[in-house]
Structure 1
Amino acid sequence: MPQVLDMFGLGKTMLYEMMKTGEFPQSRRVRHLSVWVESAVQDWIRVVAKPKSIG
């Protein structure tokens, strides 16, 4: 989780809220750890960082 939080600069509470609403990729449980697929997080960052067109 620390690496994921560092990647997008928000706190743990905001991360969980965004996961709950479907705005951020869901974590997966591996034993007692929460893990994310790095490519899913990178894709999310690209979508969020993409400038919106003015039209």
Structure 2
Amino acid sequence: MDRVALKRTSIYELIKTRDFPAPVKIQRASRWVDIEISDWIRVQMSKR
């Protein structure tokens, strides 16, 4: 949430529409692959 400046609800809405990388589930926790988030940020920056 801190890296992408989005709230949890917004992140999960973007995941539903496949506009944000899906998390990897580790037991009950959700974790994201760092390179996937970095790539997503780069794409968002290129849209500016």
TM-score with structure 1 setting the length: 0.81
Say whether residues 1:31 and 2:24 are aligned partners.
no
% identity of equivalent residues: 35
Q: Secondary structure at the match of 2:2?
A: helix
Which consecutive segments of 4 or more residues in structure 1 shift more than 4 A?
A: none
Q: Which structure: greater helix fraction?
A: 1
Unpaired segments of 5 or more residues in structure 2?
A: none
RMSD: 1.1
Offset, 1:51: 4.5
Please give the alpha-carbon distance, in whole angstroms, between the structure 2 residues aligned to 1:37 and 1:51.
22
In 1, Cα distance between equivalents of 2:35 and 2:47 = 20
In structure 1, list runs of 5 or more residues that go unmatched: none
Q: 1:8 aligns with which of 4, 8, 11?
A: 4
Match of 1:50 in 2: 46
Which structure has the greater CA radius of gyration?
Answer: 1
